Structure 1
Amino acid sequence: MIDNKFLSKLSQNLLEILNDDEYYDITIEVGNDPDVKIFRAHMVILNYRSSHLRRILSTNKKKNDGTLAHIKLPNILPEIFQAILRYIYGGSLSIGKYDTSDIIKILIAANELSLQELVEYLQLSLIENNANWMEQNFNLIYQTSFINDSFLELRKYCIDLISKEPGKIFISPNYSLISEKILISLIQNKNLQMSEVQVWKNVLKWGHAQNPELSSDPASLSKDDFNVLKNTLQHCIPFIRFYNLTSKEISDTVIPYRDILPEELYVDVLRTLLNLHPDSMSIIKSKPRKSINVDSNIITFKHAELISRWIDKLSITDKLTSSYEFKLILRGTRDGFAPSKFHEICDGKSCTVSIIKVKNSNEILGGYNPIECIEKHILSHVKNEQFAVFNLRDCGPLFGEYGDDLTIKGLDKSYSNKRSYKKRIRKIEDRFFAKEYEVFQIMKKG
């Protein structure tokens, strides 16, 4: 008889063995002074659970005089090893009680101990549940992903983020910590949703962050200071599309930093300022960066383009005929999920789109258009316009008659049924938890 219900009892008993002061036959010294702790364990369990510990134990066997075997793990923090040791014995890890930074430490320690099953699980858990934190601490995640080839899932996540959503890295609070290599990848990225002047300002911001002793006011910089900044940014500047800057942007943001530009490039910048065609190829002449810029924890510019097509009643493959600005006016994790907050912020505002990320799912629901993944969009217009939007004070956004098609009511009371729209908004007619929730005001650009 095979039944997983017995595994929990086995796990409990093994953890009881770990906590028992008798029968242990090895001590493990973990950490470095002054943060050192001695753990008691059992060689037979360590031997079969960790190939790394098996190799260490092969040269640290129990002595005939009764002295216990003793090993040292100086590279792991005691509190991190405590979590891993419980996993080794009990086969489970309650990662919900750990900060994301500690989960990263557990991941690195698990890799050192050759706990491949745990390494794979932690990577997938981080990507699924801690994406916002990783975007804000991208440099740490990027560097960690290249520590060892066991972190391929994290590495793929980093490469995908640089490739598909580079703008998120620019706006992260720890943006200035990224390496020059990552910065150049961002500047070169064709998917970067940012005006050229903002790219230039971010490059300058990064350059100043690498040299904190320099004043942020270019008027206060000496010739030597400019040379320091020039050397820092010499590999980044060639990828700035100065040709796409307006005369005012050049005057306000480039001319004050003229001393960090190569002479030939500066001459061409001046020609651009005077509306003269540059003679040389020192200025990159390429198309302006994409115009849809969306500040979102849920959707990317690709989703924004899809919503823009829906607003214009175009098909997914039609070329966009209008350009829209997505102005974030409400975010659940920032402003709260209470219906009262929705009405406080959003009542009286027209042309809004509500976006909801369903917890423990790839689903993104939004007003009229739930999106499960980039290839499978359900874009639905209302059958009866009088039931397009409903309004109740104790609920957030409602769509359809009495909100049946989509109701957002706090974190755990949202639901979706088919009633007033041509297509079913969600395949599953059941309540769902909202992981994140955002409302944008959509404004057509001139």
Structure 2
Amino acid sequence: MTTKFFDRLSNDLTRLLENPTDYNVAIEIGEAPNNQIFKVHSYILQSRSPYFEKKFNETPFNDDHIKVLTMPNPNISIKIFNVIIKYIYGGIISLEKLENSTIFDLVIASNELELDELVKHLQTYLVNNGAPWLRLKFAQICRTSYQIKNLEIIRDFYNDIIAKHPNTIFESENFLSLPEGALISILKQDDLQLEEGKIWEYVIKWGKAKNSTLPTNFDKWTSDNFLTLKETLKGCLPHIRYFSFSNEDVVEKIFPYHQILETNLFLDINSKIMTPNKQISSIILPPRNILNTKLPIRNTPISLPSNIITNEHALEISSWIDKKETLYVENNPYEFQLLVRRSRDGFDVETIYNICDKVANTVIILKVKGTGEILGGYNLLEWDNNNNQFKSTQDSLTFSLKTTNLKNSISSRVKNVGCAIYNYPSKPDFSFSSSLCLVGNLKTEKKCYCMVTSSYSKPIRSDEFISPEVYPLSNIFHKFSFSVEECEVFKILPRNDLK
């Protein structure tokens, strides 16, 4: 029987990091005067990281028998390195209190330091717990995941999104600069929801963009031009499902570019059109698993200027505003026009009143500090910076949106229309009755709360966070009040670009 005492080993090595007896390496992170020197032991780091093993072999000892290293990557901050060095020594990492952006920075830094185990763990954590954030940062993180090796888990996450919604990448402004490996990865997807003829058009477009010297007038193309395009696309062409093209697409789309195909493949494509049952020698890739043979027309998606919510969230909110039983899944009928962002404009409720005075049809979104909850409310009526009053409407609602900690979004519609909106600028306080109350400085004062109320149909927070009905309001327990990490207010406008 073998007994493993990993906890004790981890604790002892962590103490060695905290009290670096006989250290022989000094690693400098950051620039003076805000730099920090980490005193560490070469035999531990080089046994855990191939990167440090190579670095230590290249770095001589100084006169004090210390190897001094400066991290070349400025993106590895003191905060990031502190997490990594504790992992290297003790095999322990805690991510619950870290922002998703910090965790992604950890992924990049860990990959550079060749900490494969940690790279895999961090990616898995982000996909399982930070999916809304990954969707929110689609353009930035997706591109990075294709550019950097070893980010397969995040890359697979984005490939699944692209397979279901191919226009997110093929119609994006970043498509033509997509790395070849990224395009090949997408083309390999069996469930890519796009007709093969359309995929071919995108691949040709991408290949042309890589060769600025190709003539813009296709009639002037020479055999050398086709050879250039063929060489550019040699990694992509094997993943096209040529025998899934309609006959019309073969004639209209493949024939003009037949010179970039191997002769035998082009002959087999023709053979399949004329004699479908004849045996051919070319490899026939299986057709893609298209859910709908005729794909729905996707109108131009809204540009969502939010640091908190995703387009999926915006579709949910729009569905609730329109009182739809079935949620919108695309073609949001509304534009979300940003009016206020707390990190930009300030965290006082008074600021919202000043900016939104006499503005109607607004949605307020806030991210709760500490829990990551996304709460909000829809106000059909005008904000009024000059009067303290309850406002009546049957169309207001409060909500909490799906996050990693909340499996399903919650929508709560007003029941007591006379107490729908509490407009009280002198306090300053803005509330949806007691369902969602915003008070004072949202960041520093921790006075916001959600209370059990009969004015709205259901609570938007779980029992552990929602206050029982108490008066005066000063009696609300501290554990039920919260401050805000970020807050945004949007004007909801009908879109005029939909078909």
* Change over 3 Å in CA distance of 1:329–1:42 after alignment to 2: closer
- Which residues in structure 2 correspond to 1:227-266 (within 5 Å)? none
Shift in Å, 1:422? 1.6
The 5 Å alignment of 1:281-430 reads 286-291=294-299, 293-296=301-304, 297=306, 298-316=308-326, 324-330=333-339, 332=341, 335-336=344-345, 338=347, 339=349, 342-343=352-353, 346-359=356-369, 361=371, 363-367=373-377, 368-373=398-403, 376-393=408-425, 398-401=430-433, 405-407=436-438, 410-411=442-443, 413=446, 414-419=448-453, 420-427=455-462, 428-429=465-466, 430=481
* Deviations 1:75-127, CA, capped at 9 Å, x for gaps: x857759934465347669988x9788534422145x245x357524763697
1:7 Cα deviation from its structure 2 partner: 12
Deviations 1:142-188 (A, max 9, x none): 354x62xxx564345333443566666579775533532366589x8
Given that 1:349 and 1:441 are in contact with CA atoms closer than 8 Å, whether structure 2 keeps it comes out as no
Secondary structure, counterpart of 2:490 in structure 1: strand
| Equivalent residue for 1:142, pick from 143, 146, 170 | 146
Deviates more, 1:169-178 or 1:298-307: 169-178
Matching residue's letter, 1:426:
R
CA distance in 1, matches of 2:338, 2:205: 27
Per the TM alignment, residue 362 of structure 1 is displaced from its structure 2 partner at its CA by 5.6
Q: Secondary structure at the match of 2:162?
A: helix
TM-score normalized by the length of structure 1:
0.56
CA separation of 1:70/1:400 partners in 2, compared to 1, >3 Å: closer, same or farther? closer
- Quick one: distance in 1 between partners of 2:427 and 2:203? 43
Alignment of 1:16-55 (within 5 A): 16-18=18-20, 23-24=22-23, 41-42=40-41, 45-46=44-45, 50=47
Unaligned regions of 5+ residues in structure 2, if any?
Answer: 1-7, 29-36, 58-63, 243-251, 258-291, 378-397, 467-480
SS in 2 for 1:289: coil
Contact 1:355 1:365 in 2 (8 A): yes
Separation of aligned partners in 1, 2:26 and 2:315: 56
* Change beyond 3 A, Cα 1:285–1:8: closer
* 2:366 alignment partner, SS class: strand
Q: How does 1:216-235 map to 2 (within 5 A)?
A: 223=221
Contact 2:320/2:411 (<8 A) preserved: yes
* Letter matched to residue 450 of structure 2: S
In structure 2, the CA distance between the partners of 1:310 and 1:345, relative to structure 1 (3 Å rule), is same
Matching residue of 1:194: none
Deviation at 1:363, TM superposition (A): 3.2
Q: Which residue of 2 aligns with 1:269?
A: none
Residue from 482, 488, 497 that aligns with 1:431: 482
Between the aligned partners of 2:255 and 2:457, the Cα distance in structure 1 is 61
Q: CA offset at residue 203 of structure 1?
A: 8.3
Kindly indicate whether the alpha-carbon contact (under 8 Å) linking 1:162 and 1:185 is maintained by their aligned counterparts in 2. no
Please report the RMSD computed on the Cα atoms of aligned residues, expressed in angstroms. 6.4
Structure 2 equivalent of residue 278 of structure 1: none
SS of the residue 2:109 aligns to = helix
Q: Do the aligned partners of residues 133 and 312 (structure 1) sit closer, same or farther apart at CA in structure 2, a change above 3 Å counting?
A: closer
1:157 equivalent in alignment to 2:157: yes
Separation in structure 2 between the aligned mates of residue 382 and residue 346 of structure 1, nearest angstrom:
22
Q: Are residues 92 and 377 of structure 1, via their aligned partners in 2, closer, same or farther at CA, if it must alter by over 3 Å?
A: closer
Q: Give the unaligned 5+ runs of structure 1.
A: 1-5, 31-37, 61-67, 192-196, 240-259, 266-283
CA contact (8 A) 2:435 2:456 kept: no
> What is the letter of the counterpart of residue 431 of structure 1?
F
Alignment partner, residue 249 of structure 1? none
Return the structure number with greater helix share.
Answer: 1
Amino acid at match of 1:328: Q
**Within 2, Cα distance between the matches of 1:356 and 1:141?**
29
Match of 1:15 in 2: 17
The C-alpha deviation readout for 1:342-387, integer Å capped at 9, x for no partner, is: 4566444443333334455463323122223585232221012233
Distance 2:322 2:125 in 1: 37
Could you tell me how far apart the structure 2 residues matched to 1:156 and 1:294 are? 25
Distance 1:364 1:315 in 2: 22
**Contact 1:380-1:421 at 8 Å conserved across structures:** yes
2:106 to 103, 107, 113: 103
Distance 1:291 1:395 in 2: 44
In 2: Cα distance, 1:203 partner to 1:344 partner:
51
Distance 1:28 1:311, change over 3 A: closer
